[in-house]
Homo-oligomer: A and B are copies of this chain.
Amino acid sequence: MDQLVSDATVARLPAYLRALVDLAADDVVSVSSGRLAREVGVNPATLRRDLATLGITGTRGVGYDVKYVLFEVSVALGVNREWPVAVVGAGNLGRALANYPGLAPRGFPVQVLFDVDDRLVGTEVAGVTVHHVDRLGELVPALGITVGVIATSAEAAPGVAAALVDAGVSSILSFAAGPLDVPDHVVVRRVDLATELQILSFYTRREAAVSGGAGVPLDEP
């Protein structure tokens, strides 16, 4: 856990992890920075620097021990332990998260769902019980949950974030539009679908303009 690890390095770690898992599954024992970098699509020097900042070393003339690097990157990303997750909002998005098959095997089991709707309270989604959001402050600490996912409306999100923080959650992933105000020690990441689509549409229009502007009206004044 080094203060010096840059955001750019952190953003690449999940891709390294994926490639290392694949290599380990293929029983590859040792890998050079050149090969691993090619598989991830980065420069070998960048990869070596990234690993070095995490304190991960290889052997000159040989390469990196796959199991060792896999273990260390897993530790850095916290994937070597379980982070039980509370999802707030049991609408379609919340239910999609409870059903999402990629979470539990990667250490993020959805342990509990919360909603304000009494018709949903008491039901089960993918084996996860929906509780009333009023019980969040009681159940989240009891279940040892430190990760919260906000899958509510934008209006409800700030209140939910405050409740999660009060319940001791230290990381929040929010799908609600709009920024959240949380204390410094709480880490927030946001996924905003409309923002993603806007960025996508910027590049699409540029691509269309470059390749001859086919089809997409430019609407300039």
Contacts and interface: CB of A to CB of B under 8 A. Distances in A.
Given A14-B195, A96-B93, A106-B194, A201 B171 contact: yes
Contacts of A75: 218-220
A192 B189 CA distance: 12
Interface string A171-214: 11100010000000101010111111111111111111111000
Contacts of A61: none
B79 A198 contact: yes
Contact of A154 (B81, B102, B218): B102
Contact of A196 (B83, B153, B173): B173
A199 B203 CA distance: 25
Contacts of A116: none
A164 to B, nearest CB: 13
Interface string A82-117: 010100000111011101111100111000000000
Interface of A: 1-3, 5, 10-11, 13-14, 17, 71, 75-81, 83, 85, 91-93, 95-97, 99-103, 106-108, 146-147, 153-154, 170-173, 177, 185, 187, 189, 191-211, 215-221
Can you list the 9 inter-chain pairs with the closest CB atoms, starting with the nearest?
Answer: A92-B96, A78-B201, A1-B209, A93-B96, A14-B195, A171-B204, A187-B203, A106-B194, A77-B198
